[in-house]
Amino acid sequence: MAEPDFLTRTRAAYDTITEPYTEWIAAELAARPLDRAVLGGFAELVTAADAGPVVEIGCGPGRITAHLNGLGLAVSGIDLAPRMVARARQDHPHLRFAEGSMLGLDLADGALGGLVAWYSIIHVPDERLPDVFAEFHRVLAPGGYAQLAFAVGDEVVHRDELGGHPVSLDFHPRRPERVADLLRAAGLQPRAQVVREPDTDGDYPEQAPQAFLLARKPLGTGRRRPE
């Protein structure tokens, strides 16, 4: 079956902007203490659940993957864009990165104790989000956690240019309540919904509030990971 157009365009866009994006975003997490707090809470919960390794899905150059590894998690990264994967491997040679799409992950059922989609579902159109969340549910072990980050909003933003580079890329800001409903429909239990106001000063000014949703795959009955 032919690949959906949005995936082809998203891959091409991130391949085009790999180097400038990587340089630009490098110091971002250091400037966002509340975002680090979200990742810290995720790391503690995943460690306590002890349900398996973690994958950052849509990892780009791997800065969040590396941060999670620094928090003690066994973590690797997956990204749609081959140049992003190459850059992640170059910058973080001690970690594993692979090409792949969140619409069809090359991971076994129940393989993960946690997954992070940090500003990566923002490139998936609404009608495909249920497929993505079904895939997240499939690859998580019972008791595993999914941590999402995305901008809050209602209107799709199309960009033909980023940093002077020609691209064709759609950004999908969303209402957290709607995303939580879709997670629930996929069998994942929302555990926390953090919305922070946009940072309007500093090196990384934002236009919109930012949402951080944590969901958990239910433990079920008698389905704990074997010792």
Q: Whose structure tokens read 């902007």?
A: 17
Check binding of 38 to ligand SAM (CB under 6 A).
Answer: no
Burial classification of residue 75, based on how many CB atoms lie within 10 Å of its CB (0-12 exposed, 13-18 middle, 19 or more buried): buried
For ligand SAM, the binding residue among 36, 96, 119, 152 (CB under 6 A) is: 119
Q: CB 158 → ligand SAM: shortest distance, Å?
A: 15
Check binding of 136 to ligand SAM (CB under 6 A).
Answer: no
Check binding of 192 to ligand SAM (CB under 6 A).
Answer: no
> In degrees to the nearest 10, what's the CA dihedral of 183, 155, 17, 214?
-20
Q: Which stretch binds ligand SAM (CB under 6 A): 116-124, 153-161, 182-190, 219-227?
A: 116-124
Query: Which of 60, 144 has the CB closer to ligand SAM?
Result: 60
Query: Phi and psi dihedrals of 223, rounded to 5?
Result: -120, 35
For ligand SAM, the binding residue among 74, 86, 98, 103 (CB under 6 A) is: 103
Q: Whose structure tokens read 């992070």?
A: 116
C-alpha–C-alpha distance, residues 182 and 189, integer Å: 10
Check binding of 81 to ligand SAM (CB under 6 A).
Answer: yes
102 close to 121: Cβ distance less than 8 angstroms: yes
Q: Which stretch binds ligand SAM (CB under 6 A): 31-39, 59-67, 159-167, 177-185?
A: 59-67
Check binding of 217 to ligand SAM (CB under 6 A).
Answer: no
Which residues contact residue 210 at a Cβ distance below 8 angstroms, ignoring those fewer than 6 apart? 35, 149, 150, 151, 152, 195, 196, 198
Check binding of 87 to ligand SAM (CB under 6 A).
Answer: no
Q: CB 201 → ligand SAM: shortest distance, Å?
A: 21
Q: Which element (helix H / strand E) includes 57?
A: strand 54-57
Q: CB 92 → ligand SAM: shortest distance, Å?
A: 12
What is the crossing angle of helices 82-91 and 18-25, to 10°?
A: 50
Check binding of 145 to ligand SAM (CB under 6 A).
Answer: no
Interface residues toward ligand SAM, by CB under 6 A: 7, 10, 14, 25, 57-60, 63-64, 79-81, 84, 101-103, 118-120, 123-124
